[in-house]
Structure 1
Amino acid sequence: MADDLDRDKVAKAYARWAPIYDMVFGQVFERGRKAAIAAVEATGGGRILEVGVGTGISLPDYRRTNRLFGVDISEPMLRKAQERVVAQKLDNVEVLSVMDATKLAFPDGWFDVVVAQYVITAVPDPEGTLDEFARVVKPGGEIILVNHIGAESGPRKIFEAAFAPLARKLGWRPEFPWERLARWVEKAPGIRFIDRKPMPPLGHFSLIRFGRVAGAPSLQAAE
């Protein structure tokens, strides 16, 4: 179910953010990044796909025993990531590539973990993106998200609705409801909900984990 976020507009928005992204959002998103990486490491790690890798700010925090693959829609953001890989000698990063999250160029069941930090509210087709995550994660693997979840009621819901038009110009949707993720997992063959944990300080962001059931067929085969 696509909506009014446009792929090219999102790419252009993040191209503008690239030079200052770490300075503006580095500290703001740090706790969520750390929590996502801790969740990845708790699975045992392995071959990891980070979708929306951006400037690669999280790449140094993974254990060097992991093999990392990073994709993003923004080439300027990925150039920053590549500079970081070279500067910090991150030899466990195997791929950094411009890629549409709904058309991942990887085989079925290729990754032990798919992680996406602050991504699902910034893609035109969240459900199609999640379908691709489900396709490329192996049976027994996990999909780990950190994302803003819209308020269900109260002043924050009103603010998010009012802020939405401007937020879309900046590259994301602030009013994204939990219900969309709940509906997706109900319909996704072989995918189970594991956990949703609100992130401090105010619980505006959540760490969310889905698992692909061991022995489950690929999403395409199930269809």
Structure 2
Amino acid sequence: MELKAVGASYRRWAPVYDQTFGAITRAGRAKAVSHVNARQGKVLEVGVGTGLALRHYKDGVEVTGVDFSPEMLEKARAKVEEQRLSHVTELRRMDARALDFPDDTFDTVVAMYLVSVVPEPEKVVAEMARVCKPGGEVVIVNHFAREDGPLARLERGFAPFADLLGWHSDFPIERVLGSEDLEVVERRDFPPFGMFTFLRLRKRPAEALAEAV
């Protein structure tokens, strides 16, 4: 999707996102946040959206959130203020393809239901890896295309409507697995209907990266 289409889509979704897509994706969000809480440390949530996950982070986690949609960020900031979420240190508008943070900044970088929305997802994952500390983790929760079966046919049927839906229904997982900096340490499908995948990637230590070059 082009960035202009992403912005337009999420302007439409922002007023009703929490009650619609946000409700469907609750299980994956809970799984990701639970894992992040166990790790603690500095966390970057890329595609923070309306801030649905923010209140679930626990003490010991310092959260920075970024999103391209000002309408979504407005709702996230309202949640931070209303719920007095002191563990959320910053919310910023940002293009995920060019994260404005130094290398090796965060212990965990998480993206929930983002990679099938953004243009150039490979570049987004590369940026997530860049700002993650060596030995840290990149956590992705997303829907990925199935190769066969009824769900695969349904995904292909919805594919032409990506700009309207705000995401690619036929998005292949291979598009987020190409970074040499990252190794897969966990991959798990979960409800509803196994539609979504929890993907945990570890950034290789600096010495491992040097040996690979």
**Local SS of the residue matching 1:145:** strand
Give 5+ residue unaligned stretches, structure 2: none
Structure-2 separation of matches of 1:159 and 1:71: 31
Residue type at the aligned position of 2:79:
R
- Give the TM-score of the pair, scaled to structure 2: 0.94
Q: Say if 2:25 is the partner of 1:25.
A: no
Work out which of the residue numbers 183, 186, 200 in structure 1 matches 2:191: 200
Alpha carbon RMSD of aligned pairs, Å?
1.8
**Local SS of the residue matching 1:121:** coil
Question: Mean Cα displacement is larger for which, 112-121 or 33-42?
Answer: 33-42
Work out which of the residue numbers 38, 42, 46 in structure 2 matches 1:47: 42
Aligned to 1:212: 203
Question: Mean Cα displacement is larger for which, 66-75 or 152-161?
Answer: 152-161
Give 5+ residue unaligned stretches, structure 1: none
Residue type at the aligned position of 1:18:
A
Q: Say if 2:96 is the partner of 1:105.
A: no
1:135–1:218: 8 Å Cα contact kept in structure 2? no
Structure-2 separation of matches of 1:123 and 1:13: 11
**Local SS of the residue matching 1:23:** coil
**Local SS of the residue matching 2:30:** helix
Work out which of the residue numbers 3, 24, 34 in structure 2 matches 1:7: 3
Work out which of the residue numbers 128, 134, 156 in structure 1 matches 2:129: 134
1:139–1:216: 8 Å Cα contact kept in structure 2? no
Q: Say if 2:114 is the partner of 1:119.
A: yes
**Local SS of the residue matching 2:142:** strand
How far the C-alpha of 1:166 sits from its partner, in A, is 1.5
How far the C-alpha of 1:215 sits from its partner, in A, is 2.4
**Local SS of the residue matching 1:12:** helix
How far the C-alpha of 1:201 sits from its partner, in A, is 3.1
Residue deviations 1:165-211 (CA, integer Å, cap 9, x gap): 113322110001223334x1xxx233211110001231110000000
Q: Say if 2:166 is the partner of 1:175.
A: no
Work out which of the residue numbers 53, 56, 74 in structure 1 matches 2:51: 56
Structure-1 separation of matches of 2:153 and 2:28: 24
Structure-1 separation of matches of 2:51 and 2:92: 12
**Local SS of the residue matching 2:20:** helix
**Local SS of the residue matching 1:208:** strand
**Local SS of the residue matching 2:138:** strand
2:11–2:69: 8 Å Cα contact kept in structure 1? yes
Residue type at the aligned position of 1:14:
Y
How far the C-alpha of 1:8 sits from its partner, in A, is 1.1
Identity %: 42
